[in-house]
């Protein structure tokens, strides 16, 4: 009959489809927002290392950042790593990075420091008088995240 609107089965089907769509959107946001926030935290954390000035005669070979799970808790482990090659000596590199501390993932916590020391590791001697070394930063993020990668 014209003018009566949707038939009962079509109306029920439309209501079910709208309900499912809203539920999927809500679930997607519940999963997507924590992932997005932790990706921003990781980019900012790694950016502190990647933006730190290099010593003279040094070039970046590789940069890497990652986020993962630690232990049984609800914790994210943030990692930033940068490999470099230099013509400087090991002692000069050690002196350059000796007192370097960079911001943690979640500064301002009353139970943790606001900065952490940069890790420094040397690889076997490179050819042609060049030295390869890697800088690393590791930190635990806030333990209130709902990111599935941290569970």
Q: How far apart are CA 76 and CA 41, in angstroms?
A: 11
Least confident of 28-32, 41-45, 52-56, 117-121: 28-32
Rg (CA), the chain: 25
Identify the bridge partners of residue 134 per DSSP, sorted by sequence position.
Answer: 83, 121
Q: How far apart are CA 125 and CA 42, in angstroms?
A: 31
- Say whether pLDDT at 116 is over 80: yes
- pLDDT 10s digits, 73-104: 667 889 999 999 999 999 999 999 999 999 99
For CA atoms 43, 44, 45, 46, give the dihedral sign: positive
Better pLDDT: 96 or 36: 96
- Structural domain boundaries in the chain: 10-19+21-150
The pTM (predicted TM-score) of the whole model is 0.76
Better pLDDT: 78 or 150: 78
């Amino acid at each position: 009959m014209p003018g009566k609107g949707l038939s009962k089965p079509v109306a029920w089907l439309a209501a079910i489809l709208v309900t499912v769509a809203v539920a999927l959107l809500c679930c997607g946001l519940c999963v997507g927002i924590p992932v997005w926030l932790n990706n921003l935290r990781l980019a900012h954390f790694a950016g502190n290392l990647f933006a730190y000035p290099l010593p003279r005669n040094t070039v970046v070979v590789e940069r890497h950042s990652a986020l993962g799970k630690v232990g049984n808790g609800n914790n994210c482990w943030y990692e930033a790593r940068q490999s470099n090659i230099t013509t400087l000596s090991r002692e000069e590199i050690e002196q350059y990075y000796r007192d370097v501390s960079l911001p943690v993932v979640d500064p301002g916590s009353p139970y943790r420091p606001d900065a952490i020391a940069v890790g420094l590791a040397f690889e076997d001697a490179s050819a042609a008088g060049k030295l390869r070394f890697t800088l690393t930063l590791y930190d635990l993020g806030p333990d209130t995240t709902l990111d599935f990668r941290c569970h």
